[in-house]
Amino acid sequence: MKLKGIFLILMVALNSCIYSEYAYFTNTDIVEPEGLEGEWEVVERKQDKGEKSVIAVKKEKNKSYTFIITTTNKNGSVEKDTADNLYFFKLDDQLYMDVAETMTDSLGKERPAHMLYKVTDKKDNFSFAALNEKYIREKADKKALDIEYKEEGENLIIKSPTDKLKDFLRKNAQNPDLFEKAGKLKKIK
């Protein structure tokens, strides 16, 4: 599978490569976190020393957000990428982010792809934690994962529809193993 644009950045920045063919939310779940628009510095992530990433966040008319990511490498070169179709939603009291993208399978067919992040919002700090690939794969290997999935090469694709995904998240919201260690963003403007 080939993933476009922002998926590659988010997988590196926020440590995930599990995705779903269906959204994790419905329109009634969408929220607009206060204070999210602005510029954020990535303060914790796997990166080379001397590398700096800044994310400019802009709210769109359809209640989605766009992230413009600027990374300055240690040699001074600058790379930019843009991600749109990022939706924040709440299930019960937990905030999540669904990154809606497109994946291309081995036959060249494009289809929807959604990455999930658990979000912690603390005024000028946001934390994003991706699904824990190791934990999900261990559960899948034991046939103990209560959502549908399919392995395609190295990729684990969640195939359950939105209602089942929401049930899964509610049931596992307090499971400390479900999500990776959070990547952190600090507001700078």
CA distance 24 to 1: 21
- Alpha-carbon distances, residue 175 vs 99, 131, 136, 188 (angstroms): 22, 11, 12, 32
Q: Are strands 183-187 and 38-44 parallel, antiparallel or unpaired?
A: antiparallel
Domain residue extents for the chain: 2-187
Question: For residue 65, what pLDDT is reported?
Answer: 92
pTM for this one? Answer: 0.84
Mean pLDDT in consecutive groups of 10 residues from the start of the chain, 189 residues: 40 59 95 90 66 88 89 86 88 92 77 88 83 87 85 82 95 90 86
Question: For residue 26, what pLDDT is reported?
Answer: 96
130: Cβ contacts below 8 Å, ≥ 6 apart: 10, 14, 15, 16, 18, 115, 116, 117, 179, 180, 183
Q: H or E element: which one contains 19?
A: strand 18-20
CA distance 21 to 158: 6
Tokens linked to 133: 């690939």
Question: For residue 48, what pLDDT is reported?
Answer: 54
Question: Which among 5, 18, 40, 33 is positioned nearest to 116, based on CA atoms?
Answer: 18
CA distance 42 to 109: 33
Rg (CA), the chain: 16
